[in-house]
Amino acid sequence: MKRKAGNAPQIEELLYQALETEIGGLNVYETAVSCAVNEDLKKEWLEYLEETRTHRRVLLTVFEQLGLDPERQPPGREVVRHIGESLVKAMKMAVAAGDPDAAQLVAAECVVLAETKDHANWTLIGVIADQQGGVEAKVLKQAYDAVVTDEEHHLYHTKGWSRELWIEALGFPAVLPPPEEVKQVESAIGASRAEQARDKMLGH
């Protein structure tokens, strides 16, 4: 099958958004860690913070290999930065309100929002690596393979934490750490199965 060349400016746009998402993700995780009350969650987010540092380095290597200027500020990158800063601001607002458990919940939701964009970026980088030919595809495939498992963990595990912390806050029995964490979920299908298994984990 002959590969079709992708839209080069839009591929660059995605890469700039992906880099900014990782940079913003560092601030999101640093703030989220300071909001974490649950020690298991704090430990998890500290690991994700380190992995996000690695992902930023991976992308900076991609920029170097593809001859892109990591300092350039296309409009989409500015939008991504604004969203990241807004998530940090939301967490700080929650902390200022004085209820640590509520602030932890807000932090979990903010991480889910940040990781939804991050996960989408890497999924699309995987598509480019698969569809595109030449050096670009090779460079992006290497980066994608280095990062994708971490990204699955970040999104699906934090979604599980967010759900279970909410259930606990609502006054119902929660599974903490969440099933996604216990079962080391690495895909959407795995996340769905883990969620379905929570009743068994509660002993129902």
Per-residue model confidence as pLDDT tens digits over 115-171 = 999 999 999 999 999 999 899 999 999 999 999 999 999 999 999 999 999 999 999
Domain boundaries, the chain: 8-147
Which CATH architecture best describes the domain 8-147?
Answer: Up-down Bundle (1.20)
Q: How far apart are CA 15 and CA 4, in angstroms?
A: 19
As a 3-state breakdown, the chain gives helix, strand, coil percent values, each rounded to 5, of 80, 0, 20
- At 36, give phi and psi (nearest 5°): -70, 125
Greater confidence (132 vs 202) lies with: 132
User: CB within 8 A of 116, min separation 6: which ones?
Assistant: 155
pLDDT at 23 over 60: yes
pLDDT at 187 over 60: yes
**Which residue has 């996000």 as its token pair?**
52
Q: Which has the closest alpha carbon to 44: 194, 161, 195?
A: 161
How far CA 162 is from CA of 9, 91, 132, 156, 173, in Å, comes to: 36, 14, 36, 10, 14
Q: How far apart are CA 58 and CA 19, in angstroms?
A: 9
Is the separation of the CB atoms in 55 and 150 below 8 Å? yes
pLDDT at 1 over 50: no
